[in-house]
C-alpha cells in the first residue's frame, strides 16, 4: 500500500470539502487527479490519499 500526502491550496481544499459534503465521488476523484497531475514527481500504483 502506498500513502501520498498532498499539499492543497485553500481553494482546492474548499472544493474538495464541498464535493465530500455532496458525496460527489466523481468530483472528488477529478480534484485529486488534477492535483496529482500537477505534482512534479511521478507517482505510480497509488490507491490511498491522505489530505493535509
Give how many domains the chain has, as a whole number.
1
Name the CA dihedral angle for 32, 2, 47, 42, rounded to a multiple of 10 degrees: 50
Domain residues for the domain of 40 are 3-51
Render pLDDT for 1-45 as a digit per residue (tens, 0 to 9): 888 788 888 999 999 999 999 999 999 999 988 888 876 454 555
pTM value is 0.64
CA distances from 9 to 2, 15, 47, 48 (A): 22, 10, 21, 19
Res 2: pLDDT: 83
Instruction: Identify whether the C-beta of residue 48 lies closer than 8 Å to the C-beta of residue 3.
Output: yes
Question: For residue 46, what pLDDT band results from cuts at 50, 70 and 90?
Answer: low
C-alpha cell at 44: 505510480
Amino acid at each position: 500500500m502506498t500513502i501520498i500526502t498532498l499539499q492543497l491550496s485553500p481553494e482546492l481544499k474548499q472544493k474538495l470539502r464541498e464535493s465530500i459534503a455532496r458525496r460527489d465521488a466523481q468530483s472528488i476523484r477529478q480534484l485529486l487527479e488534477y492535483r496529482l497531475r500537477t505534482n512534479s514527481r511521478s507517482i505510480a500504483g497509488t490507491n490511498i490519499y491522505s489530505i493535509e
